[in-house]
Amino acid sequence: MYLTLLKTKLHGATVTKTDLHYEGSIAIDENLMDAAGLVEFERVDVWNVTCGSRIETYVIKGERGAGEVMLNGGAARHAEPGDKVVIAAFATVEADTARNYKPTVVIMGEGNAVKSIR
């Protein structure tokens, strides 16, 4: 049997920009992608803590070191710059592995700086 578990999340990220006319996705600063273990084109859920919206999209690389978290295309209708979001990715693991599995949780600080990783 396989279980789907949280792989990683960026908790408390701040949306920096939205672009309705871009083809879609969420652009995330490459440093934040590295901290969370996200890869380009990986599927993610974006939970908007500010307004309660929940969407699914995929990651594209944002400018490294810029602190960018930018929702594009239709996803742009689900957030405004300044909104707080949780960005989560999941992995499928064998049930036996799941018992000892630990996700990566990146706690975000001011300006989308990494506050801590656990």
How confident is the model over 3-22, as pLDDT tens digits? 999 999 999 999 999 999 99
Q: Provide the pLDDT confidence category of residue 23 given band limits of 50, 70 and 90.
A: confident
Single-letter amino acid code for the residue at 51: C
C-beta separation of 82 from 15 below 8 A: yes
Q: Provide the pLDDT confidence category of residue 24 given band limits of 50, 70 and 90.
A: confident
How confident is the model over 42-55, as pLDDT tens digits? 999 999 999 999 99
| Cα angle 88, 93, 94; round to 5 | 160
Tell me, what's the pLDDT at 98?
A: 95
Number of domains in the chain: 1
Full residue range of the structural domain in which residue 77 is found: 2-117
Instruction: Give me the catalytic one of 22, 53, 58, 101.
Output: 58
Q: What is the CATH number of the domain that holds 16?
A: 2.40.40.20
Instruction: Give me the catalytic one of 2, 25, 53, 116.
Output: 25
Residues 6+ apart with CB under 8 A from 64: 29, 30, 31
How confident is the model over 67-109, as pLDDT tens digits? 999 999 999 999 999 999 999 999 999 999 999 999 999 999 9
Single-letter amino acid code for the residue at 79: A
Global pTM value: 0.96
Any catalytic annotation for residue 58?
A: yes
3-state secondary structure 63-117: CCCCCCEEEEHHHHHHCCCCCEEEEEEEEEEEHHHHCCCCCEEEEECHHHCEEEE
